Structure 1
Amino acid sequence: MQLLAGDIGGTNSRLAIYQTGPDAGLELVTEKDFASAEFDGLEAIIAEFLQQSGAEVERAAFGVPGPVRNGQCTTTKFHWQLSAKSINARFGFAATHLLNDLEANAWGIDRLKDEQMVLLQAGDPDAQGNRSIVSAGTGLGEAGLFWDGHQHIPFATEGGHSDFSPSTPLEFALFEHLTKQHGHVSWERLVCGPGLETIHDFLRQHRKAPAPAWLKQVMREQGSAAAISNAALTKQDEICDQALDLFVRLYGREVGNHALKIMATGGVYLGGGIAPKLIDRLRQGAFIEAFLDKGRMQELMASMPVRIILNQRTALLGVAHFAATMSL
C-alpha cells in the first residue's frame, strides 16, 4: 500500500510517498519540496506532486501548522483552509488525516536513531513516563506523548501561544515594550526565529546602541535572525550576543514549563530548525540552568533526559507512521 505524507510549512512543504506492508514498516519511494508561497493551498501542491510521481495513493496524512479540529485547520501563519474531507473527495483517498505539526513530530520520535539526536541532559537512566516535544522555528510548537504504561500516545497542544511570563527587570521591560505593540504577548513572540529578531531590536533600543552598518548589510544578505545568531556565535557584536543569550534562557524556561506541566519524566525533545544550529550554545549551560529553575521541582526536572532532534524529516516520518498505524 502506498501512503502520501506531508510536512506543511509556511516557507516549504515537503511531500513524500511511502510504501508500507502488513507490519507498518515504511520504505521511502519518492520525496519533493515545494515553496508554499507559490501555491494557493495544500490541494494544489498534492495535485502537482501526484501528477509528477504517478503514485496510486490509498491513504494520506499531513502535519500542518495550526490547531486541527474535526479534520479541519486554518494554518496559523498563512491562513490556508484545510479539510481532510475535501482532500478525500478530490483525490479519492480511502482516508486523509490532518495532524498538528508538533503532533506529527511526536509520532516520529520513535522512528529516530540515537545518532539523529544530541543529548543535552542525561537525566534518569531508567526514565519512563510522558514525553514533551518543543520546537522553535518559524513559530513555537509544543506537543506531548502520554505514556499509558505500554506505549506513548502523541497529543497536540497550542502551548506556544500561552502568556509569556517575565521574571527579571530586563524581561519586564521587554514585556512592556511588546504589550504596547501587540497587547497579548505569547511565548511564540520570543522563542522562534522572528522572536530572536524581536529581542535584538528591543535590546538595541533599551541599550541605546544602534546596529552597526556591517550588521545591517549582513542582515539584508542572510536574513536578520541568521545574521544576529552568527554575530553572537562569533562574538562579533555584544548586543547580538546578549540577544542570543536571552533567547536561549527563555527557550530553556519555556521548555521546562511545558515539561513540568505534563510531567515529562520520559524525556524532553527539542525539534525545529533552530536547536540543531545552536548546539554549542545550548550546551554552555544557560539553557539547562533555565530549564531546571523550577524551585522545589528542580530535582524532578534534573531527572528528565533532554535531547535535540537533528533529523529535519521527523514530522514527515511521523505522519507516515501515523497513516500506516491507522490502516492496520
Structure 2
Amino acid sequence: MIKQLIYGDIGGTKTILQLAEIRDGEIHQQFTYRYDSAAFVTFSDMLRDFLTRTETVNHPVAACFAIAGPIVAQQTKVTNLPWQISSTNISDEFSIPVVKLINDFEAAALAIESLSPNDLITLQTGQVNAQGMRVVLGAGTGMGVAWLTWLEGRYFALPTEAGHMDFAPVNELQIHLFKALHDKFGHVSVERLLSGSGLTNIFNFLQMNAAIASDLAPVNLEEDSGATITALAQTRKHPIAIKSLNLFSEIYGAYAGNLALAGLCRGGVYIAGGIAPRIINILSSGGFMRAFRDKGRFSALMNEIPVHVITNTEISLLGAKQEAHNLFNSQD
C-alpha cells in the first residue's frame, strides 16, 4: 500500500497544502494547491476540497500543519479568520492516524536542515558548532522566534513568544523612540519595532522629529506600511524611509544578538520572515552586524556565531513537511 502524508502552511490570507508519498524512506511530492483562505468557512471544508482534488484512494498516514499563532493543547484559532482548528477533530473527521499542529516559526526552525546554500545569504560565516543551539527569528506581520536544540540525534524546535520581550534601546535616538512609543502604547515590545507596523512606527517617529522632514511633504501611512516604506527607500530614495530602514536594521541586529547570547547559539542565527529578503541590501550594509556584535565583553564571542538570512519563501511549508515525515517515522 502506498503511504501518503499531508502537510501545509495555513495563513489568514493564503494556505498551501501538499500531498506526498513515502517511497524508500524518502518524501516525494505529488500534489500542491494554493488557496484563498477566506474563501472557506472552515479549514475542514478546505481540506475536504483538497483531498477531492488529489483523487487519493487511501487515507494519509500522517499530517502536519504550520499555523501563524500559538498552539495550545493542539488547538488554535487562525489569525484574521474564524477558523478553530483541532488536531483531534481533523484526525477523527478524515481518518488520519496522526495529526499535529505547529507554530509557523516552529516549522521554520524545523526546515533549517532542509535548506540548500541557495536558500541562504550569509551575513557572518562565524565558526559553525555541529549540534550547537540555533535560533530562528523573523519580522513580518509580527516578530516570530523559535529555538532549535539537539536531542536524541536530531534537532527539536521550541516555539516562543519572544517577540513580545521588552525593547531595549541602545543609544539616544532609540531612547527617544522608546519614549514616543511608550507614551502611545505603554509597554513597548520588540514587535512594536520589528514588524511591518513596527517599521511604520519608526518612520512616523522620524518624520515627526527629524529636522530633515521640514522640507519634505508628509507621508500618511496605514498602520502596517512596511512595504510602502521599503519602496519609498529603494525606488524613490526618500531620506526618512532610508533612515527608517537603517534604524530598523540596527534594532534588528541588536535583538538578534541578544537572542544569540540568550541561547548561546553557536549553531547559527537564521533570519526569516517576509521583510528581511526585501531589504537584504540594508541588512548587508554593516549596521545589522555591528549592532549584533556590539555586546561589550562578549563582542569577540559574537564574531564566532554564524548569521544567515533565509530567502526561501516556503520555509514554513518545508518545516511542516519535515515534521510530517518525523510523525510517520515515529509510528514504526
The two structures have a TM-score, normalised by structure 1, of 0.90
- Shift of residue 270 of structure 1? 0.9
CA contact (8 A) 1:75 1:81 kept: yes
SS at match of 2:100: strand
Q: Partner of 1:118 in structure 2?
A: 121
SS at match of 2:280: helix
- Shift of residue 138 of structure 1? 1.4
- Shift of residue 7 of structure 1? 1.0
CA contact (8 A) 1:215 1:227 kept: no
**Is 1:136 the equivalent of 2:139?**
yes
Q: Partner of 1:67 in structure 2?
A: 70
Map 1:230-269; keep pairs closer than 5 Å.
Answer: 230-234=231-235, 236-269=237-270
2:14 is aligned, of 12, 15, 19, to 12
- Shift of residue 232 of structure 1? 1.7
Does the C-alpha gap of structure 1 residues 187 and 75 become closer, same or farther in structure 2, counting only changes over 3 Å? farther
Structure 1: segments with no counterpart, 5+ residues: none
- Shift of residue 33 of structure 1? 1.9
Q: Partner of 1:189 in structure 2?
A: 192
In 2: Cα distance, 1:161 partner to 1:200 partner: 21
**Residue type at the aligned position of 2:245:** L
Map 1:42-57; keep pairs closer than 5 Å.
Answer: 42-55=43-56, 56-57=59-60
**Residue type at the aligned position of 1:191:** L
- Shift of residue 128 of structure 1? 4.8
- Shift of residue 75 of structure 1? 3.8
CA contact (8 A) 2:66 2:107 kept: yes
SS at match of 2:148: strand
CA contact (8 A) 2:62 2:327 kept: no
Structure 2: segments with no counterpart, 5+ residues: none
**Residue type at the aligned position of 1:47:** R
Does the C-alpha gap of structure 1 residues 325 and 285 become closer, same or farther in structure 2, counting only changes over 3 Å? same
CA contact (8 A) 2:98 2:327 kept: no
Does the C-alpha gap of structure 1 residues 126 and 88 become closer, same or farther in structure 2, counting only changes over 3 Å? closer
- Shift of residue 78 of structure 1? 4.9
CA contact (8 A) 2:128 2:266 kept: no
Does the C-alpha gap of structure 1 residues 136 and 125 become closer, same or farther in structure 2, counting only changes over 3 Å? same
In 2: Cα distance, 1:258 partner to 1:112 partner: 22
RMSD: 2.3
**Is 1:30 the equivalent of 2:31?**
yes
In 2: Cα distance, 1:254 partner to 1:10 partner: 27
- Shift of residue 127 of structure 1? 5.5
Does the C-alpha gap of structure 1 residues 180 and 48 become closer, same or farther in structure 2, counting only changes over 3 Å? farther
CA contact (8 A) 1:143 1:154 kept: yes
**Residue type at the aligned position of 1:241:** I
Map 1:150-229; keep pairs closer than 5 Å.
Answer: 150-207=153-210, 209=213, 224-229=225-230
In 1: Cα distance, 2:109 partner to 2:23 partner: 22
Identity in percent: 37
CA contact (8 A) 2:110 2:323 kept: yes
In 1: Cα distance, 2:53 partner to 2:168 partner: 48
CA contact (8 A) 2:128 2:305 kept: no
